[in-house]
Amino acid sequence: MSIEQRLSANAEAWLEQEVASSERMDNLEALVRQRSRLSRKRWVGVAAAVAAAVTITLMGPTLVSVAADLPWIGPYIARMAAHDEGAHWAEQRGYLAPVIASASDNGYTLRVEGVLADPARTIIYYSVEGPELKDPMMPPTTEVGFDPERSLAHSGRHEVVDGKLIGEITTAPLPGPTGTVYLRGREINGVTGNWSLSFDVSRTDLSGLAREYPVDQHWQGEGYDLRITRLLIAPTQTTVEVEGFVSSGIDLRQAELVVDGQALTAMGTSTGGASTNEGRKKVTYRYSFDRIDAGTASTATFRLTAPVQWQESDLVVDLKPGARVERHDRWFQFSAVGEAEGGTQITLQTGWQPGMSLQDFSGWTVIGARGVEERVIGAGLEPNGDGTATLTLQTGRPVPDPARLEAGSEAVVIPGSFEATISLK
């Protein structure tokens, strides 16, 4: 067997090996659950946006936007308003700069139609026309940057309407007031090609509406040494940046910003550098909040809402009537085991506090008397309204009797104050 054949033949076996850090895997699942909660909040936002639109219509005045000049992009931004209030705000006030730049290859035409640029980010709105464009489909594979030789990290969303793909790409803010953006499409609808575009962008107009507040406050403690560096209230987005060092297992992604009584939540993104000799990692957290109107507020309060250290858990709950365990400031009491669709459902009662989430404990496993493990495949936490909550766990197979429930890892709240008051004067 050639070495090429051996590599192919043994690929899956190599991939099947366990990875040591189950703690990080649990973090990954916690992240998905966090995204899920945010997604549910967005749907609430959609309902609110629809209600607001109806109200505006009833009131009479019609907002005029550049949507009339950009027949595809304006309505797209309006549809996405629940996800991106800042972009909608800017578009409604005429800050969306029309761009005419297009490239065609292999039957597909990539066209940039407009750009929103402010000191927080650059959003490129584009369309694609060509054969067989229909949802669901992968977005075009693109590179974007302010230097033709250096592609920047970017994210995007898209939809297909009447056979035309309309989408957006969000990337870093322009490094200067004006600049050239390079966009290169690599693959569209599974077809590789070269769609290279460049166009000039200015963020001058929106920059005039942005306010930046340098901050120099520190959070220091065991396992972390962080500095809040700045708050930026830009027209399309509000961002807070934090940089420093953290130890392995520390998760500081959930944050809240309160300005003038208006509380916004964000899931920060982190960029990690190389680990140091002390086992710490240099990180930069960037928390991106929705657009905010600071009004006459004199201060903003930024706080981490769930600074946690993930660690192996020794929490065990016997699945028998009356079984109850206490752990830190939490308690769990076995309630019932019953049949559920596709498996078994275990319910427990636990204490409830506002802000509590399912992700405090993770990696639940049911272990029978003979040591057979059955992994929990679904979980839910619902408050009962009386200071308690019902924790529901689902397994894919019947639960043996007797059995116990073990948590694989738990997030321990890092003690200390993670709150910073930022002057807006």
Partner 1 sequence: MFRRRIDEEFLALLRPQEPKLFRIARALTGQEADAWDLLQESTLLAYDRFGQLRGGPDAFGPWIRRILVNTAKNHLVQRNRVVLLEAMEAEVGFDPSPGPEELLDQRLLWDEVMNLELHHRQVLTLRFLLDLPVDEIATLLDLPAGTVKSRIHRALATLRQRLQPSAEGAVIQR
Does position 35 bind partner 1 by CB under 8 A? yes
Does position 379 bind partner 1 by CB under 8 A? yes
Angstrom distances, CA of residue 113 to CA of 22, 124, 258:
45, 8, 35
Given 31, 160, 209, 424, the residue binding partner 1 (CB under 8 A): 31
Where does residue 389 rank: exposed (0-12), middle (13-18), buried (19+ CB within 10 A)? buried
Amino acid at 1: M
Nearest-5° Cα angle at 78, 75 to 83: 135
Q: How far is the CB of 6 from partner 1 (least distance, A)?
A: 6
**Contact letters for partner 1, residues 208-247 (x by CB under 8 A):** ----------------------------------------
Phi/psi at 189 (nearest 5 deg)? 55, 40
Given 44, 50, 336, 377, the residue binding partner 1 (CB under 8 A): 377
Nearer CB in complex with partner 1: 30/420: 30
Applying CB under 8 A, the site for partner 1 has a residue count of: 55
Does position 83 bind partner 1 by CB under 8 A? no
The stretch among 134-142, 222-230, 302-310, 349-357 that binds partner 1 (CB under 8 A) is 134-142
Does position 274 bind partner 1 by CB under 8 A? yes
The stretch among 89-97, 146-154, 303-311, 327-335 that binds partner 1 (CB under 8 A) is 146-154
The stretch among 47-55, 200-208, 297-305, 373-381 that binds partner 1 (CB under 8 A) is 373-381
Nearer CB in complex with partner 1: 112/246: 246
Q: Which of residues 92-111 bind partner 1 (CB under 8 A)?
A: none
Chain residues binding partner 1 by CB under 8 A are 3-4, 6-11, 13-19, 24-25, 28-29, 31-33, 35-36, 39-40, 135-138, 141, 143, 149-154, 186-187, 192, 270-275, 281, 375, 377-380, 394, 396
